[in-house]
């Protein structure tokens, strides 16, 4: 018998019809009978398997059961997780900024008791209360401790003519810059606002804490555009030039820079003209 004949016999057996009889076990009475070929049985079994598979897949895909499957990577179901990660990043940035803010406040609060020429007094405190001895101790030359400032990039708070330069010997710890009315005053670096308040002597003033222990001070403004605790970006407008405060004699910006708690000459690091 060759292979062709064998295949025909197998195919014939698959197509042969068989009768399935169901009998009552007690009296052997025929309950029902069904004609079924092996081919029909295989087809029926395959269709049933396919239907069951589709039902199981649909159940997994359209119900929360899919989340129980290890490695399920539908990114649309991870939106909440991604949002939480973003919120955590934002909170970490805010915590870091407020740590800088708190550190700056501590320096301002300790300025009155430190004999090393610390940060300027908080708004509303007269600078003239410094004793001559304290001024002499604070009036130090900018030495190697300020070299780090040379590697930092500062934006100019305002461009204009300098009417009064840096003169610590007469307690003028910054520079006075003349500029047109309504000129915006800009932050020299990223930072956080330590104070944005009105002072009797210096008018509307802004103190900003930056990285590397740098503090910038902006006095005599007509309008303040920020408030205490605000996070500031380089070049952001923080105030409008003005003539507020008893120590002002005309519209200008009095600008100061402090590094490691000591005043420095802003003209050594920033171009104003």
Q: At residue 213, does pLDDT exceed 60?
A: yes
Are 235 and 190 contacting, i.e. CB atoms less than 8 angstroms apart? no
Segment 86-126, tens digit of pLDDT: 788 777 766 766 666 666 666 555 544 444 444 444 433 33
Confidence of residue 18 (pLDDT cuts 50, 70, 90): confident
pLDDT at residue number 74: 52
Q: At residue 149, does pLDDT exceed 80?
A: yes
Are 273 and 128 contacting, i.e. CB atoms less than 8 angstroms apart? no
Report the candidate in 120, 124, 121 with the shortest Cα–Cα distance to residue 199: 124
Tell me the two tokens of residue 19: 């009768």
How many CA atoms lie within 13 Å of 99's alpha carbon, on the beta-carbon side? 7
* Percent over 90 (pLDDT), the chain: 29
User: Looking at per-residue confidence, does 205 or 69 come out higher?
Assistant: 205
**Beta-strand (E) ranges in the chain?**
17-23, 30-37, 161-164, 174-178, 184-186, 191-199, 203-209, 214-221, 223-224, 231-232, 237-240, 253-259, 262-264
Domain with CATH 2.70.70.10 in the chain: 127-268
Residues 6+ apart with CB under 8 A from 268: 142, 146, 149
**This prediction's pTM:** 0.52
* Percent over 70 (pLDDT), the chain: 70
pLDDT at residue number 118: 43
CA dihedral 102, 105, 107, 110 (to 10 degrees): -120
What's the mean pLDDT when you consider all of the chain?
77
Are 248 and 134 contacting, i.e. CB atoms less than 8 angstroms apart? no
pLDDT at residue number 181: 87
How many CA atoms lie within 13 Å of 225's alpha carbon, on the beta-carbon side? 15
Which residues make beta-bridge pairs with 155? none
How many CA atoms lie within 13 Å of 92's alpha carbon, on the beta-carbon side? 6
For domain 127-268, give the fold. Answer: Glucose Permease (Domain IIA) (2.70.70)
Least confident of 38-52, 87-101, 197-211: 87-101
Segment 222-260, tens digit of pLDDT: 999 999 989 999 999 999 999 888 877 778 999 999 988
């Amino acid at each position: 018998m060759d292979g062709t004949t064998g295949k025909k016999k197998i195919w014939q057996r698959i197509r042969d019809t068989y009768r399935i009889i169901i009998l009552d076990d007690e009296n052997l009475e025929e309950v029902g009978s069904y004609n079924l070929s092996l081919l029909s049985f295989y087809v029926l079994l395959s269709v049933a398997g396919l239907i069951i598979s589709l039902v199981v897949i649909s159940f997994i895909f359209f119900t929360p059961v899919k989340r129980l499957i290890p490695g399920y990577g539908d990114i649309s179901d991870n939106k909440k997780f991604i949002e939480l990660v973003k919120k955590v990043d934002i909170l970490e940035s805010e915590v870091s900024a407020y740590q800088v803010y708190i550190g700056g406040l501590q320096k301002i609060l300790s300025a009155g008791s430190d004999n090393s020429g610390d940060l300027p007094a908080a708004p509303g405190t007269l600078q003239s209360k410094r004793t001559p001895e304290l001024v002499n101790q604070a009036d130090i030359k900018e030495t190697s401790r300020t070299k780090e400032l040379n590697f930092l990039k500062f934006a100019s708070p305002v461009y204009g003519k300098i009417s009064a330069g840096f003169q610590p010997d007469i307690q003028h710890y910054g520079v006075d810059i003349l500029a047109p009315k309504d000129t915006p005053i800009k932050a020299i670096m990223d930072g956080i606002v330590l104070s944005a308040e009105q002072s009797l002597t210096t008018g509307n003033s802004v103190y900003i804490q930056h990285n590397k222990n740098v503090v910038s001070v902006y006095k005599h403004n007509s309008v303040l555009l920020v408030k205490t605790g605000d996070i500031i970006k380089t070049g952001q407008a923080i105030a409008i030039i003005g003539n507020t405060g008893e120590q002002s004699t005309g519209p200008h910006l009095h600008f100061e820079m402090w590094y490691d708690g000591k005043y420095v000459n802003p003209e050594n690091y920033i171009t104003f003209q």
